[in-house]
Structures are given as C-alpha cells and as structure tokens.
Structure 1
C-alpha cells in the first residue's frame, strides 16, 4: 500500500511536464496506464538513433548506454527546435538474453524464427534500463531490471503467423509475451509483465521521483 508521504510525492509529478522518449506501442500503453493510476499526463519524443552503432558485451551496460544515447539525441533535437529544456524525460532500452547471447530486434525472417524457436529450449531474460532526467537541473536517476520467461516449445505455425504479422521485428528478441498467440506457451515469468514488455511501472515511478527531487 502506498503511504500518505509517497502519495504526496507522487502528486508532485502532476505538475511536471513528462516526456516519454520512445515510439514503442507497448511502452506508450504502459505509460498511459501509469499516468491514469497516478494522475499525470505525458508526451512523446523519439530519439531515432542507430542503436547498432552502440555496442557492449555486457547487456546491463549496453542498455544503459542506449538509454543515455537516446536521452542525448532527444535533448539535441529539442535544442535544435528551440524548445525549452524543461520537464522529466524518460528514456529506456531493452535487450533479450538467451543462452548467453544478446538478442536485439530480429533483422530477418530467419533470425526471428531462430530467436522464437530457441525460447522453447531454455528460458529467456529481458534486461531493461530506465533513465529519468530532469531537463532543467540535469539531475538523473537510472536503473536496470532483469526478468525471466520460461516457455513451452512454440510451434512452427505459431512462429510463422507471428512473423507474418510483423510486430516481432520491432521487439527485442522478437519477444511478445502479451500476444494471444504467445501467451498459451508461457510456462511462468519471474518478474512483472510490464518489465518484460520494456517499461516496469514501479521502476519508472521511483526514478521519476528521484530525478524530480520529490
């Protein structure tokens, strides 16, 4: 249960300009839910960076670096547009780790098949970074969260339908746990659904409060 003090802190977000630096449908959906739960609204900006230009063998460091790069790209766009640097900017990134490999968005049909087929052999983990930055003060807070998903084998016809729909190409590892074709093949999850989908609500809220100094 949220304490009265915590509720007062969260209430402080309602007067803040909040910017989600992501074009992900799933992240926007989660952020909308979070806003409804706590009474704040948000707007969207996109970074449009070349994510593959940023590399690190450590998945936690990789997602941190990508979240920071997205922040810098959005700030640069705002400056170029003469937009005042005000508000809380939320940037994030996520990769899937499977059998010690970092999986990002599938680059081909074959790669998507390979990724999704592999989840039936062994669990996958999602490693996601969230970075909250107060654009006025420069104060920032970031953290990484890892969740684990255990799958039953995903049949070839299901993989083919997912790939034909095309959304898997916009998801790290082609992983779409919320999809009705995928849900029946999930054995269990160690972590929250919003974390696996790329934007853990509890983490976003905590980091926004820290960055805002609330």
Structure 2
C-alpha cells in the first residue's frame, strides 16, 4: 500500500518487520529505547496499548519525524488475571510455559500511530488454546529458541507455538505481535 508519508516501524521486533513486509508496506525500522513500565492500577488489557503509546511518544521530541508516520506496538500475555511479561531466564520461561500448558490464555497486541503530532492507539485480543506440554518439550523449546524476548515465553511461529497451539479465537498476527488487519485499516484512514 502506498502511503502519503514515509512509514517508520518503531520496533526492533523481527516478527513485526516480517508482518509489515509480507503485507506489502514500504517502511524503515527505527526503534527508540523506552522503559516498559506502566501504572500499577492500569487494567491489564490496556497495558499493551499503553506501552505502544509510550514507545510512540519517544519519537515526538525529534523534529525529523514530523512528516512521517510512526508505528509502534507491544504485546502482552494474560492468564489468571496475571500479566506474563518477557522471561528473565530459563527458570522463569519454564514457569510461564508450565502455567500456559493445557490451558487457554489471552494475547493482547496494542499498536500506536503517531502522525503530525497526533497519537492514535488500538489493541486487539486473541484467545490462545495450548495443549498439554511435557516438561522435556518445554525445556527443549527454551534451549533451542531462547524465548527471552517474547511475552509469555513463546512465539506462535516457532517450536511449541507450531506444535502445541490447538485453537485460536482471533488473529494469528495479533499473537505474533502486530494485528495487521487493524494496522492496515488505521493507515488507510490517515490523511
């Protein structure tokens, strides 16, 4: 899709980059380091969009982005009214995957568009159903895929994401990290 302004993907995620490329967008990727903190009283389903907005605001101060469209995103995993963030180590990753094993959970991907100083944010939710995973399968996945940059300690496009997800209620790409169907509509609406 041709846009009236250059598109910047404000993310280091290779998955988000891949989704945008496959959707046919021309863009450059340029992330700003942002502390991924949020208010403790923020409803958990709003955290992803809040963090996406925070990442977009990091571009506001630099005038070189004034005539560009900035797209930022964040993904969260929720189970038992608890947020599973990026695991710090293999022990934490194992505990997260053990909790997800044989159960369903929510993945919320939020994204934000910054254009001409205006910020618009969206989020999308998908319910993911995991089959039961044996301990050895979890350990092998962590060893082979090092899922320390992924909320909930897994990627839908690799390993146990491919072999142990029984069903999705919602968008595959929301789980991967960017609800491209909503991104497309939001970008088309920009003037």
TM-score by length of 2: 0.91
How far apart in 2 are the matches of 1:202 and 1:25? 18
Instruction: Give yes or no for contact 2:53–2:111 (8 Å, CA) kept in 1.
Output: no
The offset of 1:84, in angstroms, is 4.7
Gaps of 5+ in 2: none
The offset of 1:156, in angstroms, is 1.5
How far apart in 2 are the matches of 1:66 and 1:54? 7
Match among 29, 33, 54 for residue 22 of structure 2: 33
Richer in helix (by share)? 1
Specify whether residues 24 and 84 from structure 1 end up closer, same or farther in structure 2 by C-alpha distance, changes over 3 A only: closer
The offset of 1:111, in angstroms, is 1.1
Summarize the alignment of residues 55-134 of structure 1 with structure 2, pairs less than 5 Å apart.
55-56=39-40, 57-76=42-61, 78-79=62-63, 83-134=64-115
How far apart in 2 are the matches of 1:200 and 1:67? 13
How far apart in 2 are the matches of 1:118 and 1:168? 15
Counterpart for residue 3 of structure 1 = none
Specify whether residues 150 and 84 from structure 1 end up closer, same or farther in structure 2 by C-alpha distance, changes over 3 A only: closer
The offset of 1:183, in angstroms, is 1.5
Aligned residues: 190
SS at match of 2:60: helix
TM-score by length of 1: 0.82
How far apart in 2 are the matches of 1:151 and 1:75? 40
How far apart in 2 are the matches of 1:27 and 1:124? 21
How far apart in 2 are the matches of 1:168 and 1:27? 16
Summarize the alignment of residues 158-197 of structure 1 with structure 2, pairs less than 5 Å apart.
158-197=137-176
Range moving further from structure 2, 139-148 or 22-31: 139-148
Specify whether residues 62 and 84 from structure 1 end up closer, same or farther in structure 2 by C-alpha distance, changes over 3 A only: closer
The offset of 1:17, in angstroms, is 0.2
